[in-house]
Each structure stands twice: as C-alpha cells, then as structure tokens.
Amino acid sequence: MLPWSLRSAARRLAAATRAAASAAVAARSPAPAPWQERPPAVEDREERAAVWEDDHWPRRRPRRSDFSCTTKASTDHSGLTRQLLDFQHDTVDETDGGYDPFSQLKERFTDFKQRNYVENFTNYQKLAEQQTPEFMVVACADSRVCPTSILGLQPGDAFTVRNVANLVPPYEHGASETTAALEFAVNSLQVPNVLVVGHSRCGGIQALMSMKSKKDDRSSRTFIRDWVSLGKSARLSTEAAAGNLSFESQCRHCEKESINSSLLNLLTYPWIEERVKEGNLNLHGGYYNFIDCTFEKWTLVYRPGLEGGSKYAIKNRSTWS
C-alpha cells in the first residue's frame, strides 16, 4: 500500500487531469444558442419578455411541435443537394468496377438526345416554356404497361400519373398523388381528355379479388390492401356478374370493371363534372392486353339531366389489334 502522502498526491494529480480535460472540452464547445441562455434578471414579467425579445434572436425557443413532421432522414437532404450543386458536368463517372444498372440507360439517353432532342430542338424549346397536353393519363405502375411506349406518346402529349391498378379514388377520399395530378391537369392545364388505362393480368386487381369478403383483422392490413380497397365497388359488380366463372376470368372482368368505376369516380370531382357537362372535357377508358397486344378504348357518356334509365353510357368503342 502506498504511503498516505503518495496517495494524496495521486488524487490531486487525477483531479487536475480531469479539470484540464473539462476545460479543453468547454473550449471546443460552441457557444450556447440565444434561446439556451438564461433571460436577464428583470422583476417585471412583461418587461423581462420585452428585454429578452429585443436583445435575442430568435425571439422564442422552437418547440418540438414546430417540427412534428421532421424526421432525421428529411433533415439530411441539404448536404446531398450541395454535393449535386458542386458537381462538375465534365467529371468522369465513378463506378466500382462491377455491374452498372445505368449503363444501358445512359446509352438510351444519349441516343434520345441525338435522334430526338437535337432533331426536334425547336419543339423542345417550346415545351421548355409551357405544356399544353392533349391527354391526362391515369395508368398502372406495372412495368409492362408503359403508356408512352404503347400509345407512342411524345413529350408534351400527356400529363401522366401511374399507381397500383390505375385507380381513381372518389373525391371524398382526399389528397393523393393521383388526385393532385388530376387537379393540376384539369384546372391548370385544362386538358380536354382524361384517359384511364387498365391492362391484363393486373396484380393490383388480383389482390383486390383475393381479399376475403369478411372483415379482416387489422394486423393483415398493408398499404397495397388499403389502396386496392378503393376498387371494392368494381369487385362487387364483378362478383355479381361473373361470380360463377374461374378466378382468372373474374380478374379479367374486374380489370375492365375497375376502369369504368374510376371513370364514374372522376365525376365525383365538382370541377371535373362541371367541365364534362360543359362539353370541355371527355372521359375515356382504355384496356391494354399484353398477351395478344391489343388495345380497347371507349368513351363515357354522361347525361346528368336524364330521367329514368342510366345517366351513363358507352360510345366510340373500338379495339386496335
């Protein structure tokens, strides 16, 4: 055991070391933010508040509720954006020497620029100033169903939104990427045509038709299930009309039934119904069968003043093969 004098000296040395470390940390630490400082000692509460607001900025400490929708991931974007802004266009692409999924896309983009953009430069310059699309297209997110490729749409031809099963929610459903796109296309761009495109072997429709008829436990809910549930009226109509057929046949029936259901849902939007009644907007359905490469199209007729019978009918139906 060390003598008392040596133990005392060791304790004093350890205490001095800790104090020096604390001082070094304090020296490196940033000054406290204005809202972290204690307000000046003023007796009157109103005067204290006035002094605090005059001498400090910001005037109040941010509350957690001010950033209730902010997550850690969403606060990291500024650094990434700075990297993009600092990027030099003549920088050589950096790869790890392995498979590059963008190699073919780069070749296709270069080909597009040479064969399309350059040859139609004047048109692209006009598009840079404004867009006046002929169609608003609602299509499925399925990788096999690209309306641009199927219908030969060119830049500026169609304002497009794609989702699972090409569904249009009713107006009361509220905001979604589909409803926002419809609002912009109809009210701002004033497109004269809305085209809802469905397709064969749609996974979203299969999910809809596979749902159990009884109310499922909440634990089985998924984003896909909640979304395709918007097509439940099409499913009920399919079960009534084709319930005795095979599951595959029911799905094929529902694929078209859901298109018409979406067309009727479009009319629940007041600004869409108004333009349809005025004759400034037409609603169309389309069905792409990629098994035999055929495309069926039709137009919805809306007769709001009709008494008796149905307010809706189909016209200009044709199949392209």
Residue 90 annotated as lining a ligand binding site:
no
Alpha helices in 121-217 (DSSP H): 121-129, 147-151, 177-183, 203-210
Give the whole-angstrom CA distance, residue 285 versus residue 313.
Answer: 12
Residue 251 annotated as lining a ligand binding site:
no
Give the whole-angstrom CA distance, residue 221 versus residue 107.
Answer: 42
Give the whole-angstrom CA distance, residue 73 versus residue 79.
Answer: 12
Token digits of residue 316: 């200009």
β-pair type (193-199, 282-289) = parallel
CA dihedral 47, 52, 55, 59 (to 10 degrees): -130
Residue 199 annotated as lining a ligand binding site:
yes
Token digits of residue 69: 């929708």
Report, in angstroms and rounded to the nearest whole number, the Rg of the chain calculated over CA atoms. 32
Residue 111 annotated as lining a ligand binding site:
no
DSSP string, 233-252: HHHHHHHHHHTTS-HHHHHH
Q: How many of the other CB atoms lie within 10 Å of CB of 269?
A: 20
What are the phi and psi torsion angles at 80 (to 5°)? -65, -40
Give the annotated binding-site residues for Zn(2+): 140, 142, 199, 202
Give the annotated binding-site residues: 140, 142, 199, 202
